Amino acid sequence: MVNRLKLSSFGHFRPKDLNFGELKHCQTWVFHSFNRVLVIGSLLLLFLVAIGSGYFYNTNSFPQPIVLENAGDNRTNTNFSGECNLFVGNWVPDESYPLYNASECPFAEQGFSCLDNGRKDKEYLKWRWKPRNCEIPRFDVYVILEKLRGKRIVFVGDSLSRTQWESMICILMTGVEDKKSVYEVKGRKITRQIRHLQVRFSSFNFTVEFYRSIFLVQPGSPPKRSPKRIKKALMLDKLDDINKEWIHSDILVFNTGHWWTPTKLFELGWYFQIDGKMKLGMTINGAFNKALTTWHSWIENNINSDRTRVFFRTFEATHWSAGPREKCDVTRQPWSETNGKDKNAFSDMIIDTVKNVAIPVTLLHVTPMGAYRSDAHVGNWSDNPSVPDCSHYCLPGVPDMWNELLFTFLFSEQQYQIH
Ligand SMILES: *[C@@H]1O[C@H](CO)[C@@H](O)[C@H](O)[C@H]1NC(C)=O
Ligand SMILES: *[C@@H]1O[C@H](CO)[C@@H](O)[C@H](O)[C@H]1NC(C)=O
Ligand SMILES: *[C@@H]1O[C@H](CO)[C@@H](O)[C@H](O)[C@H]1NC(C)=O
Ligand SMILES: *[C@@H]1O[C@H](CO)[C@@H](O)[C@H](O)[C@H]1NC(C)=O
Ligand SMILES: *[C@@H]1O[C@H](CO)[C@@H](O)[C@H](O)[C@H]1NC(C)=O
């Protein structure tokens, strides 16, 4: 039972690392006080009783959830045999989605709020990710709000990270009665360039923050007497200079990828630097890998894994159609195949890096699930319809599922174990 959520292909998720709040407390106490076998036996019994009485997600004193309460799916049946890779599966229609209304969430930015920007078809809102051998447990927003009490959640990365940040706030706000009790601490507005945003859930005493760090490593000035075309040096051996602000967090979620393109680097005069020397011939993939190495040692040298749960999200699939000029045709329905978009060189490098980090880092391998969702992009339903967008996803939408996965990794174990 303890090992119920076994992830086959990414071995660094270990249930024993789920020392989060009360669970840790409870486990320590239990295992030190009783005979282990007896305890596991009685937990098993409790588990069976819980299933028998359909009493699975209501084992707390919180009110019933608003979200998902009438979900006509099988997500309470989380009993699965064998192994479950949460990232291998398909999307199934589910009328209980979406999880929130973006027009009622002050933190869903206009640019991602597709319905507000004139999108008429709504099928894209009604899909749920279904892993092949198991279910992502249905979450109870009230339980999660309580579990986050006193915590600091930090998202670091590019605008796709900002989307997940917005999605998380909107999901959590469905459980907050007084919407005014949720606010950006300095009254800052969400913009594309903003470096830091910190939203506080004051009734629950936690914050959800976003740090813009599109490459994770530090840009700087090129050395003197560099060729004129070199405008910026991306220092692959130095993590972004705001990295100190990421350290004291309880949940830390990274991404990077979308800016590592020739158009966004070389064409704008950005080149790579290592150890103070420009590396003009270096490939983007080579540079990306070097940046990950820098991230890897930073994690090991700075993060206290007793406090901080670290996640790394892999590349978020895009759906630009190939050709001399990339086009963005948002479909009405998800693709039935991934058409090769489930594979990505950046994702592969992230997977390899994360595997070798000495402290637990959980992969959010969202590349395959995103690959199907040609229907879920912003397209021309953004705040700037003249620039089509097949990179970002609409809110509500795919990023909500990234958060459901995050909640599963953080909390589902507890729901299996306790009570
Ligand atoms: C629920 O499970 C039943 C039986 O396994 C299946 O026929 C049905 O399609 C499932 N419903 C959903 C929404 O997955
Ligand atoms: C879980 O499923 C397995 C078979 O898939 C079944 O043998 C077992 O009894 C189930 N356990 C519970 C607690 O429902
Ligand atoms: C979302 O909320 C707005 C404002 O309250 C409302 O007009 C709209 O109908 C809602 N949209 C959906 C899809 O429920
Ligand atoms: C809020 O959380 C912080 C950080 O965990 C903690 O130090 C503080 O005591 C909490 N405040 C209240 C009122 O619970
Ligand atoms: C947006 O794209 C859709 C489908 O691609 C098209 O029908 C519509 O006219 C476009 N709207 C604008 C404002 O360009």
Q: Give the position of tokens 């447990």.
A: 137
Residue with more model confidence, 346 or 137? 346
Q: Using CA atoms, how far apart are residues 78 and 340, in angstroms rounded to an integer?
A: 30
d(CA 282, CA 271): 9
Q: Which ligand number lies closest to the CA of residue 385?
A: 5
Domains of the chain: 91-219+237-262+283-411 (3.40.50.1110)
Query: Is the pLDDT assigned to residue 239 strictly greater than 90?
Result: yes
Predicted confidence (pLDDT) per residue in 118-176, tens digit = 999 999 999 999 988 788 888 999 999 999 999 999 999 999 999 999 999 999 999 99
> What is the pLDDT at residue 85?
85
Q: Whose alpha carbon is nearest atom 5 of ligand 1?
A: 74
**410 in Cβ contact with 86 (< 8 Å):** no
Ligand nearest to the CA of 93: 1
Decide: 390 and 114 in contact? Cβ < 8 Å: no
Please give the structure tokens belonging to residue 287: 């540079």
Assess contact for 111 and 384: CB atoms under 8 A: yes
**188 CB contacts (<8 Å, ≥6 apart)?**
194, 196, 197
Best mutation site among 103, 170, 173 for ligand 3 pocket (most ligand atoms within 8 Å of CB): 103
CA of 17 to the centre of ligand 5 (A): 48
Tell how far the Cα of 104 is from the centroid of ligand 3, in angstroms: 7
Residue 104 near ligand 3, beta carbon < 6 Å: yes
Helix (H, G, I), strand (E, B) or coil at 75: coil
Ligand 2 centroid–CA 79 distance in Å is 6
pLDDT for position 286:
98
Element (H, E) at 235: strand 232-239
pLDDT, position 39: 52
| Of 61-75, 168-182, 184-198, minimum mean pLDDT range | 61-75
Question: Residue 64 pLDDT > 80, yes or no?
Answer: no
The length of the chain, given as a count of residues: 419
Which has the closest alpha carbon to 203: 173, 227, 225? 173
Cβ atoms 244, 206 nearer than 8 A: no
**What ligand has the least distance to the C-alpha of 249?**
4
Contact between 169 and 210 (Cβ < 8 Å) = no
If one counts every other C-beta atom within 10 angstroms of the C-beta of residue 121, the result is 13
Distance CA 388, CA 386 (A): 6
At which residue do the structure tokens 């995103």 appear?
370
Tokens 């109870």, residue located? 140
Pocket (CB within 6 angstroms of ligand 2): 48, 51, 79, 81
What pLDDT shows up at residue 45? 56
Residue nearest to atom 7 of ligand 4 (CA): 150
C-beta atoms surrounding 240 within 10 Å:
24
pLDDT per residue as tens digits for the range 7-34: 333 333 333 333 333 333 333 333 344 4
What mean pLDDT comes out for the span 223-246? 97
Higher pLDDT, 39 or 209: 209
Q: So what's the pLDDT on residue 168?
A: 98
Q: What pLDDT, on a 0 to 100 scale, did the predictor assign at position 174?
A: 98
Q: Which ligand is nearest to the CA of 200?
A: 4
Of residues 396 and 50, more confidently modeled: 396
Q: What is the spatial distance between Cα 95 and Cα 112, in angstroms, rounded to a whole number?
A: 21
> Looking at ligand 4, which residue's alpha carbon is closest to its atom 5?
150
Q: Rounded distance, CA 374 to CA 92, Å?
A: 15
Q: Which of 68, 74, 75, 94 has most ligand 1 atoms within 8 Å of its beta carbon, as the pocket-test mutant? A: 74
Taking residues 250-263, what's their average pLDDT?
97
| pLDDT mean across residues, the chain | 84
Q: Is 101 in the pocket of ligand 3 (CB under 6 A)?
A: yes
Amino acid at 308: T
pLDDT (0 to 100) of residue 82: 58
Q: What is the pTM of this model?
A: 0.81
Nearest atom of ligand 2 to the alpha carbon of 81: 5
Ligand 3 close to Cβ of residue 103 (< 6 A): yes
Q: Which helix (H) or strand (E) holds 404?
A: helix 398-407
Most confident segment among 85-94, 232-241, 379-388 = 232-241
Cβ neighbours of residue 57 closer than 8 Å, sequence gap 6 or more: 76, 137, 138, 140, 143, 415
pLDDT tens per residue across span 349-406: 999 999 999 999 999 999 999 999 999 999 999 999 999 999 999 999 999 999 999 9
Residue 324 is predicted with a pLDDT of 72
> Across residues 101-125, what is the average pLDDT?
97
Q: Considering only 71-80, 109-118, 342-351, which range has the smallest mean pLDDT?
A: 71-80
Q: How far is the C-alpha of 338 from the C-alpha of 243, rounded, in Å?
A: 35
What residue's CA is closest to ligand 1, atom 6? 74
User: What's the pLDDT score for residue 325?
Assistant: 76
Q: Which residues contact 1 (CB under 8 A, 6 or more apart)?
A: 40, 43, 44, 47, 416, 417
Q: What is the DSSP letter of 63?
A: P
Structure confidence at residue 322 (pLDDT): 82
Residue 74 CB–ligand 1 contact under 6 Å: yes
Predicted pLDDT at 58: 36
CA of 380 to the centre of ligand 5 (A): 6
